A and B are shown apart, each in its own frame.
Chain A
Amino acid sequence: MKDKNLSDKEIHQITRRSFIKVAGGAIAIGGLTAGGWALTELIVDEGPVESWHKSVCRYCGTGCGVMLGMSKGKKLMRVRGDQEAHNKGVICIKGSTLDKMLANEPQRLKKPMIRKNGTLEEASWEEAMTLMTEKFKGAIAEHGADSVAFYGSGQLLTEESYTANKLFKGGFKTNNVDGNPRYCMASAAVGYTQTFGKDEPPGAYEDIDHAECFFLIGSNAYECHPPLFERMMVRKKVNPNVRMIVVDPRKTKTAEHADLHLPVLPGTDLLLLNAMLYTMMKTDLFDEEFIREHVNFSDGKNKVSFEDFKKFLEDYKPEKVAPELGISARDIRKAAYMFGNAKATMSLWTMGINQRIQGTYLNNTLNSMHLVTGHINRPGATPLSLTGQSNACGGVRDTGSLSHIIPHGRLIAKKEHRNEMEEIWGIPKDSMSPKPGYHALALFQAMVDEKVKCALIMCTNPAQSSPNVEHYKKGMEKTFLVVADVFETETTKLADIVLPAALYIEKQGVYGQTERRYQLIEKLLDPPGEAKSDLQILVDFAERMGYGDFIKAKTPDEVWEEYRKVSSHSKYNFEGITYERLKKERGLQWPCPSTDHPGTVRRYTKGDPFVPEGKEHYFYGKPDGKAVVFLRTYTPSKEKVTDEYPLYLTTGRVISQWHTGTMTMKVDELMSSSGPAQLVMHPEDASRMRLKEGETVKVEARRGNMNAVVKISEHETPGVLFAAFYDPSFLINGVVSDDHDPFSKEPAYKVTAVRVTKA
C-alpha cells in the first residue's frame, strides 16, 4: 500500500536493503556463471602433450609431415599427421608409432665399441676415433685413396651425406662413395637423367589430385606408401571417372583396388610398356605436336627419327607379346587406351621397376610414354617415381653421394663438372679423381677381393639388405669396417668399430623426399648415452684426418648454408630454401632460387624459374631443350624359370615393417601385425607341392639357399612366391640374385628363379 507521506522520488529510491538483495542476487548468478565456466575450463582433459612440433616422418620416401607431441619431461608422447603439410594430416601405422620406436632406449647403442680378440668391447670415443683414423691413414698411405670407402644411406640427413661426400671425394680424392639408394633408386635417377638431362621428377604429389588415370607399375603403394595410396583413393572417390591400372605379378592390396589389374609375369613388363606404346601409336593417341616441339628420339647411341621409333614399336604388337607377358592382348589394348585417352595420366612406380636388370630401360620407357602422349607438365599428368627412403632424393641423389656423381647432377666422368666442383670447394683444378668409384655391389666385391681395406658405413645395414648377401658378408668381414648406427644390426655385428649415432629428432637437418621437397627436422631430444650425430662423427673424423680446414662447416646450420649456396651454381638452385624458411614452412620444392620464391611444383614448364619466358615447356637438362624418347628393346631376364628352378621369387615390403626392420621390429604393435617373415605362396602352388601353412621348406636359387616357413595367400599369383626382407632371422637376400642393371648398377631383387622342396 502506498504511503501518502512519501514523495514519488522517495518511492522509487532503492533502499539499502533492497540494493544489497539485488546486488547479492547478481553476484550469485554471475558467480555461478563464471564459476561454472572456470570449472569447465579446468576439467578439459589436456592429454599428456605439452607442446607440438612440426617434423617429418623418419621412415619412407613419402616424407609425410608429422606433428610431434612432447611432454613436459621432453618425451615424445604422440605422433599425428601434419594437416598443413603435403600429406594433409595422413600418415601410416609406422609413422604413428614413431614414439614407441624412440622409446626403445635400453636397446640403443650408447658407447663406441672396438673389436678386440674377436669380440666388440666398449671403448671411449677418443680410442675409437684414434683407431679409425690410424686405419684409414694407413690404408691410404699404403694402398692409395681408392682403398678406403664410404657407404652411406638415404636416411642420413642431407648435411651429413654432403659432408661425407665432400670429405671423401674432395678431401681424400677417392670416388668410393656409394650408399643404399643404389639398391633402390639408381634406375629411377639414371632413367630421369637420360630422358630429361636432369635427375628428379618433373611432377609432384599434387598431381594425384588432378589425374584421371593412375598407372601404377611395380608399386604396392597400399602397403609401401599408404598416405599416397589414400590420396589416390580419395581422388577416385571424388571423381568416379578416375581409373586405376595396376601392373604387378602379385595381386597386392593395391591391385585389389584397381579398375584393371595386369598380373604380368616377373621380368617381362618392358614388353607391356612397348606394346602399350604400339597401341597408342595405332589408335592416334600420340601427341604429335608435343613430339615435334619437345622430343628427340634416340636408340641409346645416336639420334633417330620419329619414324624409326614407330618402326621399332612394330615389334611389340599386343598379340605378339601377350603370351610372354602372361596376360591377354585385349587387356594390353585396354590399358593403353585408358592411359592415352584420359585427360591427365599419372604413372607411379617404385622398386618393382627400379630393382630390375632393365630398370633404366623401364624408367626411360615410362618417361617416354608420357612424352609421346603429351601426358606431362600439366596438373595430373606426370611420370612420378616414388622413393623408398626418407632422404634418398635430397640426401644422396641431390648431393651426388653415389660413386659416379657429384652435387646437383654433375658427373664424375665429365671433366668440366669436376672442375666446377673443384672451384666451388676451393681445391686445385683437376685434383679430383676422374675415375668413378665402386658402386655398391662392386664395393662389396672389392671388399671380398681385399681391394678396399677400410670402410665407413653409416645408417644402413648392407649385411641384410644386399642381394646374394652371404657372399658379400665375407667381404665385410675381411675389411676394417667402421659402422655408425643406432641399434645393433647385422652389419654392426661384422664391424671392427661400432659408433653410436643419434637418431631422428636427436639431431637437426634436412630431408628431401620424392617430389623435390626439402623439409627440416629439428632437434627435440638429446641422444642417449654418448651417442653423437653422424655429422659430429664426420666432422671429428675429417679433423683427425687433417681435413679440418676443408670441412669448414661443422654444424648443421653451417653445412646447410654452404650447401644451399653450392646449389646456386646449378639448375637445382635452392638457395632460397633457408633454415629460417624451413622452420616456418611445410617444406619447399626446388628449384627455389631466392628467399621470396615460392618453390616449383612442376618442372620444365611455366612456373619453373629456368624455363625461358614465353615458353610453355622447356627441358633445360638437354642442350636443345628437348627430352629424349629412347627405343628400348626388351631382353628376357637371365633369371628365367626352368625345369630346375620352376618358380619366380620376388621380394618386397609389408605395411607394418620398414627396410631391414632395425627400427620397426622393436615396436610391439608392428610386430604383432607382421609377425616373423615367411615365404608366401598361392594355394595352387602349395597344393601342387603338397605344402601346408606353417611347414618349413627349402628355397634354392642359383646363388644360395635357405629354409623358410610357408604362408598361403590368395594375394599371390600361381608360380610367383613373395618374401619380405625385414626380418634378419629370415635372410631372403641370401637367395636373391645379385645381377644388376648395366647402367644404374641397381640389383635385380625382384626376379629370382627358385625351387622349393620340403625341408
Chain B
Amino acid sequence: MTHLLPDSAAPAAAPTVPRAAAATATASSASAATSAPSASAGAVSAGAASAARRRGRRLGPGKRLPAARLIGPLLVLAVWAIASAAGQLDPGAIPAPWTVLHTGARLWTDGTLPSDMLTSLRRAGIGFTIGLTGGVLLALASGLSRTGEALIDGTVQLNRAIPTLGLIPLLILWLGIGETFKIAIIAIVVYIPVYLNLHSALSGIDSRFVELAEVIGLRRWEFVRQVVIPGALPGFFVGLRLAVTSSWLSLVVLEQINATSGLGYMMFQAQNYGQSDVIIVGLIVYGVFGLISDTLVRLIERRVLSWRRTLGH
C-alpha cells in the first residue's frame, strides 16, 4: 500500500496541471536545451503564447455578422438595379426594380391589389383554419386512443399517399369550381402534415415519463394534459410550419389554374398581356405572405416552447 502511493499520486496529479503552464514548461525546457539563454527569452514567451493559442483554436464559424440574413438579398437587389440601369436586362422579361415598385403602387391605389390580396388571404385563412382544426382533432383522437388509431391512422396514411393536387379534378366535379373546392384543397394540404407530425409526437411520448406518471398516480386526463400534450408540442410546430408553407404553395397552384379573382389570377392575366412587372409584384406579395406567416409561427413557437431554449441554447 505505502510503496504504491508515490506511483499512484504522480499520474493523478499530472492532469491537474493547467495546460498553459504545461505548455510554458515544455517551451522553456526546450529553450534551456539551446545555448542562447538571453537572446531566446523573447522567443520563449512567444513560443509559449503561440502554443497556448494553438490549443484554443476556434473551429466554429465564429460570431454572426450583424443583419447577416439581409446581406444576400440586398446584394441581389443591387445587382438587379445596376443591371437594369445599365440597360443589360430586357425590360419586357425583367423590369427594373423601380418599375415594379411603381406598378405595385399603381395596383394598390386603383384597388385591384388590395381586393386580390384579400381574396387570396381569405381562401388561405379559411382553408388553413379548417385543415389545422381537422388535423389536430384527428391526431388527438388517433394519438390518444387505440380505437381512434385503428380507425383514423390507416385512412390518413392512405390519403397522404395521394398527392393532394391530384384531387383537383375530382373535387371540382364534386364541389364545383367556386371557392369551396379551393378551400377544401387547402384544408387537405394543411391537415396532412399537422396530423402526421402531431400524431407521431403524441404516440412517441417518452416511456420514462409514462413510468413517472404511473408512479405518481396521475389520472388519465392529467397525464394527457401535463405530459402528453406539452411533450408533443415540438412535433406539432414542425407540422404547423410545413402546413403554412404548403398552404401557400397550393394557393398559388389553385389560383393560377381555376380562378377569376385573387393574386394568382392577377398574375395569370398579366402573363396573357405580357406584364412581367405585375407578375413580379404578385410574387413579392406571395413572398411577403410566406415570410410573415412563417415568422408568426416561429414567434408563437418561441413563446410556447420557451423551456426549450434552456436545453441546447
Are A and B co-members of a single complex? no
Binding site for A on B (CB under 8 A): none
